Amino acid sequence: MRAIALVLLLSACGTAPEAPRIWRDPAVPIASKADFDAARFAGRWHHVARFPEPGGAACPDTVTDWAAAGDTMTLRRSCDGEPTATGTARVAPLGRLRVTQDGTTTEKWVLWADDGYRTAVLVRADGRGGAILDRTPRAPVDRLRAAIEVLDFNGFDTDALVFGNTP
């Protein structure tokens, strides 16, 4: 009987799941894109850099397709061509999106997009994740640098970025 109790006790001592890390200094003010245009944001985006997520598998070729319809957007994410997630986003003013995927809702903010909506920064408002997005698999260095500067300005730990398809 003691052996069974010991086995149960030891099995309960397994490693706890890793808590999501916050990649942003909450003391730094954060600003989203005031002139966000959902229709211009719609389309295919390649994730060229991202913050690590606990238990999240690294995917060198993550793509999200966004479609806009009024104040709602739909999204389809894939990894190496295989679908991985679908969801909807309610568009609020100032580039703020209320994204629902698999029954979970998170606030995501578009911090920046260049004038041509070719490169963008999309983050979780709570600082637990985010990505630099580009319309092509390889973001040009000038726009990549600009996106990194935007993340840094908004208090994100840019040293933690994991780069995928970059030159």
List pLDDT tens digits, range 7-62. Answer: 444 444 445 555 679 999 999 999 999 999 999 999 999 999 999 976 666 788 89
Shortest CA distance to 22 belongs to which of 48, 54, 47, 46?
Answer: 54
* CB contact set of 56 (below 8 Å; sequence gap of 6+): none
Per-residue pLDDT band for 83 (boundaries 50, 70, 90) equals very high
Per-residue pLDDT band for 145 (boundaries 50, 70, 90) equals very high
What domains can you pick out in the chain, each with its CATH number? 38-52+59-157 (2.40.128.20)
pTM of the model: 0.86
pLDDT of residue 17: 53
pLDDT of residue 167: 43
Taking phi over 0 as left and psi of -120 to 50 as alpha, with beta for the rest, 67 belongs to: beta
pLDDT of residue 59: 81
